Structure 1
Amino acid sequence: MSDDATPRLSLPYVAAGQAQKHITVNEAFARLDGLVQLAVESRTIVAQPVAPADGAIHILPAAATGAFWAGKAAGLLTRFEAGAWEALTPAAGWLAWVKDEGHAVISDGATWTPLAATFKAVTAAKSPFGANTRFEIVEQEVTLSGASTATTVVIPNRAIVLGVSTRTSVAVTGATSYSCGVSGDTAKFGSGLGVAKNTNNVGVVGPTAYYADTAVVITAAGGSFTGGKVRVAIHVMRFDGAGVVP
């Protein structure tokens, strides 16, 4: 353990016989104020803000610019208070709410990953001989670019799709609307979908079987994507055969 600061949050200790102890105590309080219930303004703003609010915190993106931000590693936290910036190194397991994206991210000590980047929920009912029917939701937040963007999660082979729902989590730029579908049927789960944040659609379809892993595709309308994010949830049924006969 360091004699100067706490091991987890680097809160400064008051030294024995230290003069002006209030300075050290106030520094510790200020750091706690920023790191407890951590909420950051953004993790994508590259240019150091000219007039940030007191207490504002950012996760630095790559190639950040500005008198204090330039040259610092991506993933660092920078906190502004009393006219000055302070850099803080996150530890693995730290959570932060990203205000301009509307979701939480988790740090591995270097990289921040959205908690909702990929998600899978499963409900099952099993027969006496081991046959199984599963209702699953496979979810991913997709960063949009170009004419279309495919999910890296897929509709599983030999699954029946009941629907694919979408929500615009970060306002879409470059396109005036978008569609959600699969290769060869780009509007299967919806078209003319809104680009504003929190616009959503539940793309219900007649039960459709898929016989190969199939990505969901988000396709731009009225121009190519230059930014934005969409949360995609794939609602499926999957099946397991009966167990081995002894």
Structure 2
Amino acid sequence: MSELTPHLALPLLAAAQAQKHVTHNEALLLLDAAAQLAVLDRTRTAPPSAPTPGDRHIVAAGAGGDWAGHVGEIALYDSGWRFLVPRAGWRAYLAAERRTLLHDGTNWVDMLAGTPSGGTATLRAVEEELVLAGAFVASSIVIPNRAICLSVASRTVAAVTGATAYEVGIAGETSKFGGSLGVALGATNIGVIGPQAFYADTPLRITALGGAFTGGRVRLVLSYFAFGI
């Protein structure tokens, strides 16, 4: 019999083993880390300086130090760092990005559906907070080429000055996701559209009404379907 379980590599007790509690506790620790898997982030290439016992991270490409050689694995902090090697079908909640990842046997991916050859369909949501100035402000987030846009939501997170209202849209369709939106702190809108395909990367735009922007901040949340071959 193997000394480890086949899926989670949990250590097994041996017949007549001394100090059985050590092996048992090791298995419980690993099971605790893998069940209901949630990690803090996936961008670190080195361990945090002051980890908390129980912290878990997906090790990023280029990792060194104590994490060298463990790219894509789950780094678990106990009294030191130990690592869980993911297998196809593992899912992990990624707290920093508020999304769920699936391991396809090679990489962590965020997809709703996939094909054996690597085709993917993914629902994504991205956000950006824009500082307002001038007649309009363009976002750095874009509706991607070959994506299907569903909505752009907005929230005024710092009261807008200069303008009496604003629109959220794209160049040429400045109110596509909402017009005459409120400038007061906390004003919100969910700009739902009929699903629309875009065939070029298309930045979002916030356009001033009733005067140019002299201040304020608005957060945008773009939701769309993306596809891979």
Normalising by the smaller structure, the TM-score range is 0.5 to 0.7
The alignment status of 1:108 with 2:107, answered yes or no, reads: no
Alignment of 1:85-164 (within 5 A): 85-115=81-111, 139-142=123-126, 147-155=140-148, 164=151
Q: 1:232 aligns with which of 206, 223, 226?
A: 223
Return the offset for 1:213.
Answer: 5.0
Task: Please give the secondary structure, in 2, of the residue aligned with 1:188.
Answer: coil
Q: CA deviation at 1:232?
A: 1.1
Q: CA deviation at 1:201?
A: 4.3
1:200 to 1:87, Cα distance in 2 relative to 1, 3 A: farther
Q: Is the contact between residue 152 and residue 221 of structure 2 (CA under 8 Å) also seen in structure 1? A: no
Between the aligned partners of 1:27 and 1:59, the Cα distance in structure 2 is 21
Contact 1:40 1:97 in 2 (8 A): yes
Alpha-carbon shift at residue 109 of structure 1 (Å): 2.2
> How much has 1:74 moved relative to structure 2?
2.6
- Give the deviation of 1:68 after TM superposition: 0.8
Deviation per residue, 1:77-112 (Å, 9 max, x gap): 11111x210111100000111111112111112211
Corresponding position of 2:69: 72
More strand per residue: 1
Counterpart residue type for residue 217 of structure 1? T
Structure-2-length-normalised TM-score: 0.62
CA distance in 1, matches of 2:82, 2:222: 33
Task: Using the TM superposition, give the Cα deviation of residue 215 of structure 1 relative to its aligned residue in structure 2, in angstroms.
Answer: 5.1
Note the aligned Cα RMSD (angstroms): 4.0
Identity of aligned residues (%): 35
Gaps of 5+ in 2: 115-121, 129-138, 156-166, 182-186, 207-212, 214-219
Counterpart of 2:32 in structure 1 is 33
Note if contact 1:38-1:95 (Cα within 8 Å) is conserved in structure 2. yes
The secondary structure found in structure 2 opposite 1:189 is: coil
Conserved 8 A contact 1:12-1:27: yes
Question: Any unmatched runs of 5+ in structure 1?
Answer: 119-137, 156-160, 169-178, 194-198, 223-228, 235-246
**How high is the TM-score relative to the length of structure 1?**
0.58
User: Would the aligned equivalents of 1:117 and 1:140 in 2 still touch at CA under 8 Å?
Assistant: no
CA contact (8 A) 2:142 2:204 kept: yes
In 2, Cα distance between equivalents of 1:63 and 1:166: 35
